[in-house]
Amino acid sequence: MKKWTKPFIATMIALPLMTAPLAAHASQQLTIYAPNKMATKLVVEHKSPYSYAKNGSMTKFLMHELHYTHYVKGYAVSKSEKTITLNFKSSLATSQVVQGSTGGQFFTDRIAVTFFKNMPKLQTIYFRLDGKETSLDHVNFTNIQRSDYKKMLK
């Protein structure tokens, strides 16, 4: 009976090398949330295919899918992926996006639910306006926690 040690070992070494590039191009579906037609709750707006290799940063991709890219001044993601800082331009404060109590609340909730649902490690989102923590009439640029959204994330 022949020993298959050498070909078997070679296969064990070569297989991970062959599949590693495939894993880097793996795609997943990200879910984007928006208010329903009556503006009473968040619902799934759409799902988008995402791949880091093709789309780059998930934070940037999600902000694009939420149609808020125009208002983003910058963002930072911690190495552990547990915190994200979203820094918005001052033009957001006077935009239609955050006008009225409902608009301001859905702006924050929409980002929070979309990010927390798609990023399981994420625990805290820091909202900033021109780099500062601030409160406006209808929206607060402060910190939100995953635990604040327990009911919405079920």
What pLDDT does 132 receive? 94
pLDDT at 22 over 70: no
Kindly state the average pLDDT of the residues 67-85: 95
What pLDDT does 24 receive? 47
What pLDDT does 124 receive? 97
pLDDT in tens, 95-136: 888 877 788 888 999 999 999 999 999 999 999 999 999 888
Higher pLDDT: 93 or 82? It is 82
What is the residue-wise DSSP string for 9-46?
A: HHHHHHHHHHHHHHHHT--EEEEEEEE-TTSSSEEEEE
- Residue 104 CB burial class (10 angstroms; 0-12, 13-18, ≥19): middle
What pLDDT does 99 receive? 79
